[in-house]
Amino acid sequence: MAAPLTLLLIVAVTIRAVLFRSSLAELISERVEVVSPLNAWKRVVEGLALLDLGVSPYSGDVFHETPLMIYLFHFTVDYAEIVFMVSPYFVDCLSCFLASLDRFRKQKYALESDRYPADCLELLRSPKEMFYIPLKVAMFYLLNPFTILSCVAKSTCGLNNAIIALFIFCTLKGSALLSGILLALATYQSIYPLTLFAPALLFFLQRLYIPVNLRRSSFWCFTLQYAFIYVGSLVVITGLSFFLLGSWDFIPSVYGFIFSVPDLTPNIGLFWYFFAEMFEHFRLFFICVFQINVFFYTIPLSIKLKEHPVFLIFMQIAIISIFKSYPTVGDVALYMAFLPAWSHLYRFLRNIFLVSCVLLACSALFPVLWHLWIYAGSANSNFYYAITLLFNFGQILLVSDYFYAYLRREHHLTHGLYLKKKDGTEATLVLK
Amino acid sequence: MAAHRCGLSLVCILFFSSLAHPSRCDTLEKANDNTATKRSISEVNTDGSVAGEDMNERQWQSTDVEVNRSDGTKNSETFTPAPAKDQFQEELVIRPLHSGDIYASFQFRTLWDTDFLQEGQKKVSHYRLFPKSLGQVLSKFSVQELHISFTQGFWRTMQWGQPFIPSPPGAELWVWFHHTVSDVDGNWKELTNVLSGIFCASLNFIDMTNTVQPSASFKPLGLGNATDHRFLRYATLPREIVCTENLTPWKKLLPCGSKAGLAVLMKSEKLFHSSFHSQAVHIRPICQDEQCTSKAWELRQTLNVVFDHYTSGQGKKEWSLFKMFSRTLTEACPLASSSKVYVDITDNPEGELFELSPATPLLSQAVVLGDRRTYSVYDLTRAETFGQLRSFNLLLRWKGDSGDMLRPLLHAERYVAGFGLQTGEIHTVIYNNHPYRAFPVLLMDSVPWYLQLYIHTLTVTSKSRDNKPSYIHYQPAKDRHRPHLLEMLIQLPPHSMTEVTVQFERALLKWTEYTPDPNHGFYVGSSVISALVPSMVAMSTNFTQDQPLFSSFVPVKEESSYFVRVYTEPLLVNLPTPDFSMPYNVICLTCTVVAVGYGSFYNLLTRTFQVDEPSPPLAKRLANFIRRIRGVPLLA
């Protein structure tokens, strides 16, 4: 296990180092799919230049990083490449602990195996499969072209991913304090990870064997405790940024920018063209609808998946990266890193082939249609828009397929794998 | 009161007609506007005391020039200005350019002896020569200084040299407000709308997105050493088209309108059939006398035009007033205390290059733009200027080929580099052609918000070496609220080319934010380069001294240098455009994808897995229904 992991790390580092030194690095860092106004390295440098000129970086509309980020880079700007090379490896930790989680699950399954029908044993993962999951997760993240591109472009998205990965790691480790602090940090960075509060809380409750029951004081006690850690650290971090900067300018410039979507530079998301073409008097309404859409799924998903918080985390991250206002391929890479962890769901996926083809084709077509529109002038914005539409459609299909497979596997675990109709013929499962 | 005024004007008419030249009287009577006539005549009367001294001065000037041709302006200090009264001067300068074009510059100066910005004098109700429409605007918005220009075409510094008063293509407006104004932005907004009405221009398109407050480039030209740039507003509209509808209201501000005086020449079909046309209004407070005991408002209306009859192949390399303006001069404006036509003959001291007819004995020398120039002067207030025909048609005939022009000491150009619609780079190239002197220039750039500048990519190179600006004032843009403002103080090494580059990114706008012709591109206003250029000859620092109007606009603080403002070309930048025809489609398609996401999650969240039991066929259900009624066991 250690040897292949080390080899993987070496390969990943080599690829990045070579790309950093090549002429491709500059090309990649300009790609709209890889960097968004929120996390472009060019804008970080601009913010630092503004600081040097004695102008508040938030007085303009170029810089949208949080104050802590700018102070981090104020000291590490010369080592930026190293920072970005290191950040993906935090995600690695995640992979290791997904493995430990699965071991924990396995024991649980072994204990409760009498609860499951006999024919479901093939749905449970063998220890051998489990053994390779961390390696697969690491490989999926470190060698994912999306991650590599994002890293070579020095998009700060990689750092945000690292914070989220560390948060998941701490959560799975069972450290409520660290988990709360890291979640606050992730929220502070890009507001959307706020929705990860629910799965983290559910995970801790499950771990501490506290039933989710609104009438139980133990439930409220722990919820308040965790919420206090979270809100407290959020207040501390925000206050710290205020004292570093001496003004609240960063609130509208970072969070207002995320919510009100004033920058319509094309990206792989759904927002840019929609709001470029929006009728002025409906703009506010649709901004509200689209932003609520990101947060809204938390409640029903938490209810439906309250027994499966880790899968809930995956769902939330995926939904955020599809429906957020300035998505980049780095965000996509984060939830894709989880896919090997759900390898036991492959048999229930309905259209994984179609989805893979769509996503691959779109990834190839993004630069082509961008070139045709922006440089060649032979296409127009609709071409690029069509591809973003298809890409998001593919992502939605992928996520809902995994959700379907997960629910179906749960159904089979309780009802047996080979279901029969009343007349004894093989039954088909339908959603009703 | 009205009766009294009527009586007075009657006396005036009698008095005036006995004095004035018959032809003048004719035109005055022909004037349709009766009240205007009365007003102007009474003006002449009140100026009666000045007239005598004026005559003296002219006599002196002519004799002086005859005796000592080289000392035209120095001795005028002996002349004491008239006691405070409104005053109007008009002047036309014609400069034959080396390219064969002709540069004609009109200047009209109205002095208004009032100071309503002082406490207790807020309301002024008496207007004589000063246009009431502008006076009311000044007092209502507490304007300290106002400069507005409308320009069609681009001034080619390399071919034409420096203009007397430079202006950027399109419309430019800059205003200093009085320091008592509390809501400067509100005043500015209203002022632009009012001016838009006065000048029939699209100045109402000036809003916060194209207004800047330069910190150093635009200092007040008149009295008052305001340094707080909170009271300054500067805006340009590079896209503004200037045409007849802007000229007519501009002419109406003149005391004589276009009925008499030099303004007769302003026929719009000729003025706009030229390669450069610029009209401007400058209002500022100035001293009335050398001790500066009282203030006066100065209204300068300038109109610069470059005719390209020769270079466009329409005619020979000779010109006359009639050829240029299709009019000749018949009289001065009766209200004008001085009315002169100057022709630049510096390059033609012995008359070997061209020949002017009618010839004039009057010569004048003026130090203008760092150079001592000699001018032939035609005084329109003197009857002999018009000769026997009662009409003055100046004619210039070239004899030989003109030599090369001296390169202007400072000039600049600007262009956009890069390809594609994503990023680009603005290059500003500034040339210092002085052989041995280095001097600093202030470069000001105001870039609209939809070009996102990256200030860390700013480079300044002179002679392929990094030239760090000693002062940078940068205000980044706010989307849809304010433009970028970049001001730099750059030291230009002697005989050098300095290149300033900065990268930008093009934004995709909302579909309603594009101009009606979006693929034409978006204009970025000219950069403004302000500099104190080392002068070849000693500049005259005495501001109140009587000088020709064209040489006395910018106050000179020191003898060794003179102030120049150079405007670069405006830029035309293409932005990526959305498809304007399909807002409905986009809304439908995007909403569909979101709905697919929502719908599939909704399905999975609300439904449960069940074994699919196909419902029995219709015949079987009917049979079972009948069996149930009959009470017979149902079919399986």
Give tens-digit pLDDT for A253-283: 999 999 999 999 999 999 999 999 999 999 9
**Which is nearest to B385 in space by CA: B343, B428, B344, B437?**
B343
**Which residue in B509, B598, B610 is closest to A432 by CB distance?**
B610
The closest CB to that of B596, out of A60, A393, A403, belongs to A393
pTM for this predicted structure:
0.84
Q: Give whole-number Cα distances, A389 to A356, B40, B577, B596, in Å.
A: 15, 73, 18, 11
What length is written for chain A? Answer: 432
Q: So what's the pLDDT on residue A304?
A: 92
pLDDT tens column, A422-432: 777 777 788 87
For residue A405, tell me if it sits in a domain.
Answer: no
What pLDDT is stored for residue B225 in this prediction? 66
For residue A86, being part of any structural domain is answered with yes
Could you say which of B472, B583, B596 has the minimum Cβ distance to residue A277? B583
Cross-chain CB nearest to B601 (options A42, A48, A400): A400
Q: Is the dihedral of CA A38, A41, A42, A45 positive or negative?
A: positive
Give A-chain residues touching B593 at CB under 8 angstroms: 270, 389, 392-393, 396
Cβ B598–A293 below 8 Å, yes or no?
Answer: yes
User: Is B290's pLDDT higher than 90?
Assistant: no
Task: Assess whether pLDDT exceeds 80 at residue A222.
Answer: yes
Q: What pLDDT shows up at residue A421?
A: 74
- Within 8 A of B484 by CB-CB distance, chain A residues are 60
Torsion of Cα atoms, B148 then B150 then B156 then B162, to 10°: -30
Instruction: Pick the range with the lowest mean pLDDT from A310-314, B363-367, B480-484.
Output: B363-367
A280: closest CA of chain B, how far (Å): 8
Collapsing DSSP to helix, strand or coil, B149 comes out as strand
* CA–CA min distance A69, chain B (Å): 18
pLDDT in tens, B214-273: 998 998 888 876 678 899 999 999 999 999 999 999 999 999 988 888 999 999 888 998
Q: What local confidence, expressed as pLDDT, does residue B42 receive?
A: 37
Q: What percent of chain B has pLDDT over 90?
A: 46
Beta bridge partners of B498: B430, B462
Does B386 or B174 have the greater pLDDT score? Answer: B174
Residue A106 has pLDDT above 60, yes or no: no
Q: What is the extent of the structural domain holding A173? A: 1-349
In a domain, A202, yes or no: yes
Domain assignment present for A393: no
Contact B601 A403 (CB under 8 A): yes
Q: How many domains does chain A have?
A: 1
For position B98, what pLDDT does the model report?
A: 80
pLDDT of residue A110: 55
What residues of chain B lie within 8 A of the CB of A279, using their CB? 583
pLDDT at A210: 86
Q: Is residue A408 part of a domain?
A: no
Q: Which of A60, A264, A403 sits opposite B509 (nearest CB)?
A: A264
What is the predicted pLDDT for the residue at B548?
80
Report pLDDT digits (tens) over B393-431.
888 887 776 666 778 899 999 999 999 999 999 999 999
Contacts of A297 in chain B (CB under 8 A): 601
How confident is the model over A243-260, as pLDDT tens digits? 988 889 899 999 999 999
A5 to chain B, closest Cα gap in Å: 36
Q: Are strands B170-177 and B143-152 parallel, antiparallel or unpaired?
A: antiparallel
Q: How far is B497 from chain A (nearest CA, A)?
A: 26
Q: Is residue A360 part of a domain?
A: no
Average pLDDT over residues B327-355: 85
Q: Indicate whether B632 pLDDT > 70.
A: yes
pLDDT digits (tens, 9 = 90+) for A134-155: 778 888 888 899 989 998 888 8
All residues of chain B having their beta carbon less than 8 Å from the beta carbon of residue A55 are 474-476
Report chain A's mean pLDDT, rounded to a whole number: 87
Q: Chain A contacts of B600, Cβ < 8 Å? A: 396-397, 400, 403
pLDDT surpassing 80 at residue A38: yes
Residue A338, in any domain of the structure = yes
The phi and psi torsions of B417 (rounded to 5 degrees) equal: -110, 165
Query: ipTM, 2 decimals?
Result: 0.93
Tell me how crowded residue B486 is: count the other CB atoms within 10 A of its CB. 25
Fill in the DSSP letter of residue A420. Answer: B
Task: Report the range of poorest mean pLDDT among A238-252, B32-46, B423-437.
Answer: B32-46
**Which pLDDT value is given to residue B81?**
42
Nearest CA in chain A to B510: A276
Cβ-defined contact of A264 to B472 (cutoff 8 Å): no
Closest residue by Cα to residue B443 from B215, B219, B217, B218: B217
Among chain A residues, the shortest Cα distance to B484 is held by A60
Statement: residue B124 has pLDDT above 70: no
> What is the count of residue pairs from A and B with beta carbons less than 8 Å apart?
164
Please list every residue in chain A whose beta carbon sits closer than 8 Å to the beta carbon of residue B507.
263-265
Distance CA B238, CA A328 (A): 37
Neighbours of A243 (CB within 10 A): 9
pLDDT tens-digit readout, B522-572? 999 999 999 999 887 777 666 555 678 877 787 777 778 889 999 999 999
Q: Would residue A224 count as lying in a domain?
A: yes
Question: Which residue of chain B has the CA closest to A412?
Answer: B609
User: A8-31: per-residue pLDDT in tens?
Assistant: 888 888 888 888 888 998 899 999
pLDDT at A182 over 50: yes
Mean pLDDT of B486-506: 95
Most trustworthy range by pLDDT among A58-62, A306-310, B592-596: B592-596
* CA–CA gap between residue A28 and residue B421 (Å, rounded): 17
Contact A396 B419 (CB under 8 A): no
